[in-house]
């Protein structure tokens, strides 16, 4: 029997040698393949436009599929498959004229019927879409269809092959912005009905086709030469899904574009650094904040909330802890967002006032124990949180306990569900919010309307609600933005949050990559890019 | 012996049911909800309710467990919660294949080099080379992966541009072992086995060289080379074989840290991802897979002992 053991060992030896011979090549994985671009990517949970809800999936879906309207690089809503549209005077009926000659990747022409199918499919409870309520719910009949009460969506009308009408329950002037989200994109019926793995071979309408998807390894997009707008210049875009150290891979020419971690930025910002010329900064449409649960003591008193606001020296935290890489937030909306108010008055840093506010509050400075919860799976507390708690201690004389909660648990605890009487379990928490569509409604209304389910802090002010309701049906966008700005100022004065900062993304882009403008939101971006090689 | 094997095999489903039920219960009673995680921050409680119902997550736990177990008995491990519409089995097979390729390669390199070093050390006992090999092996195998990986990446990728620093590529025949991306992880992952097997091999060789049959062989006047190959090496590899057997079950597990650092789409990374996403069907499948692998390997090793060492008898 010993012979078998020996045989096994010799086999192992042979494998070992085979391995060492295969180690010889492997030099310089230079850039992409065939004049393509190579970038990092995340393995998307799905490529189904009706099912996706995260940015990793969105970055592929917007390249492969498309919809009625889209966002250009300045985040303006621009025609896509619809070449024009008309909004009825009551603001309820949207009539879209579809471009002629728009084809799916397989060559079939897109008609209004395809949009009807796509919207009804997304709203079909069997599809299991969890974005349909948010992005299509304004269309008449979508909620009935989602609840299984209707076969068709009554608000979708096919006038002719190239005319589509969408009828809303109520006038909603952010509706077009919502249509830029992939839930409303067009899909091919035959493709979708070909089986549960249809997204392995998606038949989209976007500037790129999916050529290959090796799960966890790579996604390869290939130019769609028949694209109805100006076709992409790149032959292909290769997304490496496996991950690794971004900076090392960039320096080793394994990727053309890479994000930079906060620890590497300082050395790259140095003009003497070789990589300095390849350094690009882009705004990011988000806001990081400390939320107060206004339903529990002591944050049911606005004076306490104001005191917690004014005792924080945000500029110092940003300069020292965040190395100046973020921008201080005074309010809710990030710069670059339509409706952003540069003249908004923040509460500012004023420790003396903060202390007196605390004394004036109904707690007279005798606060109950306070726990500050942050979503984190780390074993150590991040330095920003430490700095915040330290400042409250020195500037306000309040001891705050830090509690870290893993994301899934955090989500469950923070979420309110008024119909079931579930409250937010936290007193004080740290969180961020990023734009899904470029409209102030996506921040101000969703986060602060007393009826909104995403209003985690249960903030409620009838005056704010009134302004927000008015804004929903205001057709003049200037007036509409003004209403949101007024609401935002009240929210800031009421200290519903401590707005902390707005993020930015820091990237390295190889010099041969032309016309790559990092967008603050996920938009079809690679069709503008070319390579100088 | 047949009775022994049968008895062990009969225990297998009992162990698997216990393991799967505990994992299932921990998932269900632990905090966090898969549908909420899937929807992220903007989860609407009504939609969460609807999707929970659609997936049967609102049923009592025993009912959910029986549904799951029934599916598994019919070869259906369900669909992933996170990777919408993807079958767990499809998801897992490709990941296991990656982890097995990497693990097997690292083990093969580790065992080969470990045996050679151990043998060299033992045969040079008393000379400077022996402590050098032993302490060198110990040092290398004590270095954690998160120190070795950045060092190697810095030197081999960033400075010398010899190897890709991370990632996974299916090269020739769709196999990752033919792609240069595997080299660095194999170097890092084989350090542990090299150190361990060197010491094991050295110890067992030293035991063998004092055996009577080696003295007899020398007395017969056999050439030293023949003695080393046929009498010493062959007999001293037996304990190594046991250790290798034990490590085989670990191959399907992959590595949590190494796979993340090297960007390798294996089981380890999938397990971590699935845990954070509360992707119960995937977590369950990985647990069952690893449990089965350990049970089977242990059994095979126990049986293997009887062939390797005639003194052992199973009853």
Query: What is the per-residue pLDDT across A393-444, written as a single tens digit (0 to 9) for each?
Result: 999 999 999 999 988 888 888 888 887 888 888 999 999 998 888 899 999 9
A454·B41 Cβ contact <8 A: yes
For position A106, what pLDDT does the model report? 95
Residue A60 has pLDDT above 90, yes or no: yes
Q: Which of A136, A113, A148 is nearest to A49 (CA)?
A: A136
ipTM of the complex as predicted: 0.76
Q: Mean pLDDT over all residues of chain B? A: 84
> In B181-222, which residue ranges form alpha helices assigned H by DSSP?
183-209, 212-219
Interface contact flag, B44 A215, Cβ < 8 Å: no
Of residues A1, A51, A411, nearest to B37 (C-beta):
A411
Q: What's the pLDDT score for residue A187?
A: 97
A245 vs B270: CA distance, rounded Å:
18
Nearest residue in chain B measured CA to CA from A52? B84
**Of residues B164, B159, B190, the one with CA closest to residue B264:** B164
Q: In which band, very low, low, confident or very high, does the pLDDT at A17 lie, cut at 50, 70 and 90?
A: very low
Residue-wise pLDDT tens digits, A497-528: 999 999 888 899 999 998 888 888 888 889 99
CB spacing of B163 vs A26 below 8 angstroms: yes
Instruction: Closest CB to B37: pick one of A29, A48, A408.
Output: A408
* CB nearest to A26's CB, from B91, B150, B183: B183
The nearest alpha carbon in chain B to A2 belongs to B308
pLDDT level of residue A202 (50, 70, 90 thresholds): very high
pLDDT value of position A290 = 96
Neighboring chain B residues of A242 at a CB cutoff of 8 Å: 166-168, 263-265
A249 with B164: Cβ contact below 8 A: yes
Chain A hits for B185, CB-CB cut-off 8 Å, are: none
Of B51, B105, B167, the CB nearest to A240: B167
Question: Contact B113/A2, CB-based, under 8 Å?
Answer: no
Nearest chain B CA: its distance from A101 CA (Å): 32
Give chain B's end-to-end CA distance (angstroms, integer): 6
Give every CB contact of residue A152 below 8 A, 6+ residues apart in sequence. A120, A141, A145
Min CA distance, B43 vs chain A (Å)? 8
d(C-alpha A495, C-alpha A436), whole Å: 24
Q: Min CA distance, B238 vs chain A (Å)?
A: 8
pLDDT of residue A9: 37
What pLDDT, in 10s, does the model give residues A138-180? 999 999 998 889 999 999 999 999 999 999 999 988 899 999 9
| Mean pLDDT, residues B168-176 | 72
Choose, out of B263, B266, B272, B311, the residue to mutate when testing the contact with A (most A CBs < 10 Å).
B263
In a mutational test of the B interface, the residue from A244, A434, A445 whose CB has the highest number of chain B CBs within 10 Å is A244
Question: Is the pLDDT higher at A246 or at A107?
Answer: A107
pLDDT band at B26 (very low <50, low <70, confident <90, very high): confident
Describe the crossing of helices A2-21 and B238-251 by its angle, rounded to 10 degrees: 60
Choose the closest CB to A48 out of B84, B115, B277.
Answer: B84
pLDDT digits (tens, 9 = 90+) for B122-137: 888 888 989 898 888 8
CB contact under 8 A, A436 and B82: no
Mean pLDDT of B192-210: 88
Q: Which pLDDT value is given to residue B296?
A: 87
pLDDT at B39: 78
0.95 exceeded by pTM: no
* pLDDT at position B309: 67
Which residues from chain A sit within 8 angstroms of residue B50, using beta carbons? 125, 146
Enumerate helices (H) and strands (E) in chain A, giving the number of each. 17, 21
Name the residue facing B180 among A25, A146, A197 (closest C-beta): A25
Using an 8 Å Cβ cutoff, are A370 and A401 in contact?
A: yes
CA nearest to A446 within chain B: B42
The distance of A300 to chain B (nearest Cα, Å) reads 23
Considering only residues A223 and B236, tell me which one the structure prediction assigns the higher pLDDT. A223
Chain A CB contacts of B107 under 8 Å are: 12
Q: Which of A20, A199, A217 sits opposite B265 (nearest CB)?
A: A217
Taking the C-alpha atoms of residue A1 and residue A522, their distance in angstroms, rounded to an integer, is 63
In this prediction, residue A2 has a pLDDT band, given cuts at 50, 70 and 90, of: very low
- What's the confidence (pLDDT) of residue B298? 84
Q: How confident is the model at residue B90 (pLDDT cuts 50, 70, 90)?
A: confident
For residue A332, what are the β-bridge partners?
none
CB contact under 8 A, A252 and B164: yes
- A32 pLDDT tier (thresholds 50, 70, 90): very low
Q: Kindly determine whether residue B234 and residue A2, on different chains, have CB atoms separated by under 8 Å.
A: yes
Give residue B44's pLDDT band: very low, low, confident or very high (50, 70, 90).
confident
pLDDT value at residue A24? 27
| Each residue's pLDDT tens digit, B50-72 | 888 888 888 888 888 998 889 98
Q: Count A/B contacts: CB-CB distance under 8 Å.
A: 202
Interchain contact, B109 vs A413, CB within 8 Å: no
Per-residue model confidence (pLDDT) at position A282:
84
Q: Which of A155-164, A255-264, A320-329 has the least mean pLDDT?
A: A255-264
Determine the Cα–Cα distance for residues B277 and B284; give it in Å rounded to an integer.
13
Q: Is A198 in a helix, a strand, or coil?
A: helix
B230 neighbourhood in chain A, CB within 8 Å: none
Question: Which of B36, B44, B260 minimises the CB distance to A133?
Answer: B44
Of residues B170 and A17, more confidence is placed in: B170
* Residue B180 pLDDT > 70: yes
Number of CB atoms found within 10 A of residue A328's CB: 15
Residue B85: closest C-alpha in chain A: A196
Confidence band of A34 (pLDDT split at 50, 70, 90): very low
- Judged by CB atoms closer than 8 Å, whether chains meet at B38 and A130 is answered as yes
| pLDDT over 80 at B155, yes or no | yes
A159, A285, A287, A447 from A433: Cα distances, Å: 39, 9, 5, 9
Residue A11 has a pLDDT of 37
Nearest to B109 among A16, A245, A408 (CB): A16
Phi, psi of A74 (to 5 degrees): -100, 15
């Amino acid at each position: 029997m010993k012979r078998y053991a020996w045989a096994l060992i010799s086999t192992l030896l042979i494998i070992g040698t085979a391995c060492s011979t295969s180690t010889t090549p492997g030099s310089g994985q230079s850039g992409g393949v065939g004049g393509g671009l190579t970038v990092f990517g995340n393995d998307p949970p799905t490529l189904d436009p009706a099912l996706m809800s995260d940015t990793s999936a969105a970055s592929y879906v917007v390249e492969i599929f498309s919809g009625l309207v889209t966002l250009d690089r300045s985040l303006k809503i621009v025609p896509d498959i619809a070449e024009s549209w008309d909004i009825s005077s009551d603001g309820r009926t949207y009539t879209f004229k579809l471009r002629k000659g728009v084809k799916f990747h397989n060559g079939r022409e897109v008609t209004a019927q395809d949009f009807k199918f796509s919207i009804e499919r997304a709203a079909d409870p069997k599809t299991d879409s969890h974005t349909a309520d948010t992005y299509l719910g304004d269309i008449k009949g979508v909620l009935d269809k989602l609840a299984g009460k209707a076969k068709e969506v009554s608000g979708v009308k096919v006038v002719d092959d190239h005319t589509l009408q969408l009828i809303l329950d109520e006038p909603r002037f952010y509706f077009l912005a919502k249509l830029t989200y992939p839930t409303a994109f067009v899909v091919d019926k035959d493709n979708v009905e070909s089986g549960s793995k249809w997204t392995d071979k998606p038949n989209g309408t976007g500037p790129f086709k999916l050529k290959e998807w090796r799960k966890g390894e790579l996604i390869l997009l290939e130019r769609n030469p028949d694209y109805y707008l100006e076709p992409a210049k790149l032959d292909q875009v290769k997304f490496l899904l496996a991950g690794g150290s971004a900076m090392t891979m960039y320096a080793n020419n394994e990727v053309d574009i890479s994000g930079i971690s906060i620890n590497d930025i300082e050395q790259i910002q140095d003009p003497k650094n070789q990589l300095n010329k390849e350094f690009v900064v882009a705004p990011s449409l988000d806001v990081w904040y400390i939320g107060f649960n206004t339903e529990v003591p002591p944050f049911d008193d606005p004076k306490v909330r104001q005191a917690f606001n004014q005792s924080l020296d945000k500029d110092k935290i940003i300069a020292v802890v965040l190395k100046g890489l973020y921008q201080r937030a005074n309010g809710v909306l990030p710069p670059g967002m339509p409706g952003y108010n540069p003249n908004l008055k923040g509460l500012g840093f004023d420790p003396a006032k903060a202390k007196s506010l605390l004394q004036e509050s109904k707690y007279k400075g005798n606060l109950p124990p306070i726990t500050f919860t942050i979503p984190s799976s780390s074993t150590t507390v991040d330095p920003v949180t430490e700095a915040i708690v330290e400042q409250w201690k020195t500037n306000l004389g309040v001891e705050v306990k830090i509690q870290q909660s893993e994301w899934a648990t955090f989500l469950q605890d923070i979420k309110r569900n008024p119909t079931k009487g579930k409250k937010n379990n936290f007193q004080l928490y740290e969180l961020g919010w990023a734009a899904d569509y470029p409209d102030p409604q996506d921040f101000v209304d969703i986060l602060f309307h007393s009826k909104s389910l995403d209003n985690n802090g249960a903030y409620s002010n009838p005056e704010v609600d009134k302004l927000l309701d008015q804004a929903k049906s205001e057709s003049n966008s200037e007036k509409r933005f003004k209403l949101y700005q007024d609401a935002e100022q009240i929210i800031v004065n009421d200290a519903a949050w401590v707005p902390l900062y707005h993020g930015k993304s820091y990237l390295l882009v190889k010099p041969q990559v032309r016309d790559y403008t990092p967008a603050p939101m996920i938009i079809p971006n690679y069709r503008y890019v070319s390579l100088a090689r | 012996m047949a009775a022994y094997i049968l008895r062990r095999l009969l225990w297998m489903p009992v162990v698997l049911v216990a393991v799967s039920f505990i994992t299932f219960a921990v998932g269900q009673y632990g905090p966090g909800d898969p549908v909420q995680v899937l929807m992220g921050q903007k989860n609407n409680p009504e939609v969460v309710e609807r999707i929970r119902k659609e997936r049967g997550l609102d049923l009592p736990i025993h009912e959910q467990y029986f549904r799951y177990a029934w599916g598994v008995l019919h070869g259906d491990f369900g669909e992933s919660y996170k990777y919408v519409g993807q079958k767990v089995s499809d998801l897992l097979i490709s990941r296991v294949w990656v982890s097995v390729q990497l693990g097997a390669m690292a083990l093969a390199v580790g065992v080969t080099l470990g045996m050679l070093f151990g043998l060299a050390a033992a045969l040079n006992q008393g000379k400077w080379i022996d402590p050098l090999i032993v302490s060198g092996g110990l040092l290398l195998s004590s270095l954690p992966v998160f120190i070795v990986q950045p060092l190697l990446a810095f030197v081999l990728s960033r400075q010398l541009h010899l190897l890709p620093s991370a990632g996974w590529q299916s090269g020739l025949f769709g196999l990752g072992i033919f792609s240069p991306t595997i080299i660095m992880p194999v170097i890092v992952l084989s350090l542990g086995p090299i150190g361990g097997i060197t010491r094991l091999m050295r110890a067992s060789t030293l035991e063998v060289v004092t055996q009577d049959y080696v003295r007899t062989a020398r007395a017969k006047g056999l050439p030293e080379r023949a003695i080393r190959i046929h009498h010493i090496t062959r007999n001293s590899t037996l304990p190594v074989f046991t250790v290798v057997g034990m490590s085989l079950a670990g191959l399907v597990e992959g590595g949590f840290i190494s796979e993340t650092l090297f960007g390798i789409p294996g089981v380890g990374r999938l397990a971590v991802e699935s845990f954070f996403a509360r992707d119960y069907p995937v977590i369950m499948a990985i647990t069952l897979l690893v449990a089965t692998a350990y049970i089977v390997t242990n059994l095979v090793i126990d049986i293997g002992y009887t062939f390797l060492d005639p003194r052992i008898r199973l009853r």
